[in-house]
Amino acid sequence: MFNLPNCLTLTRICAAPLMVILLYYEGPVACFGAASLFALASITDLLDGYIARRDNLVTSFGKFLDPLADKVLICSVLIMLTWLHRVPAWITILIVCRELVVTGLRAMAADKGIVMAADKFGQWKTTLQSIALIPLIIHYPVMGVDVRGLGEFLLYIALALTVGSGVNYIYLYYRRAVIC
């Protein structure tokens, strides 16, 4: 249960409260610190899956924990960015609701003995959300470039992918758990 990939996944969960604290203190230093921590935590998402597959350490626990860690980290940051007026509340609500629906579907599928691991759409969604959130966390211009505008643009694309992947999970759940 506590293999290297699962420990890397747990670091994302542990990073979430630290992100909240850093984002609570506005200012360039806190924002750059939060963005750095978020980027490092996001990289663990790539590493844990790679190591798990490479070393044959894929577990049902890891399949459950990995997407949960992503949700905890990303939703915590989105809620803080909404509180800071950097992300519209409706976007955060849509993303958080999608995450709750998918988590609920996974729980219902697990009750039927079906493990619904993250699919490619879900992985792309998480990657694009992470990339979009970094400039929104930074918030301040970097070398004269308005990174916040870039983050907002990417977040709208991530939102479309988020909704689309949520619809895909509903479809997959229906096919695997309801029809079977």
Instruction: Dig out the tokens for 62 from the structure.
Output: 């890891």
Tell me what percent of the residues of the chain surpass a pLDDT of 70. Answer: 99
Please state, in angstroms and rounded to a whole number, the distance separating the CA atoms of residues 16 and 31: 14
How many CA within 13 A on the CB side of residue 123?
Answer: 13
Q: Candidates 1.20.120.1760, 1.20.1260.10, 3.90.226.10, 3.50.50.60; correct CATH number of 4-178?
A: 1.20.120.1760
For the four alpha carbons of 164, 166, 169 and 175, in that order, the dihedral sign comes to: negative
* Tokens 């759940």, residue located: 173
pTM: 0.90
- Please write the tens of the pLDDT for every residue from 16-47: 999 999 999 888 999 999 999 999 999 998 89
Mean pLDDT over 166-172 rounds to 92
Residue 106 has a pLDDT of 86
73 close to 40: Cβ distance less than 8 angstroms: no
The letter for the amino acid at 84 is L
Residue 180 has a pLDDT of 64
- Please write the tens of the pLDDT for every residue from 88-119: 999 999 999 999 999 899 889 888 888 787 77
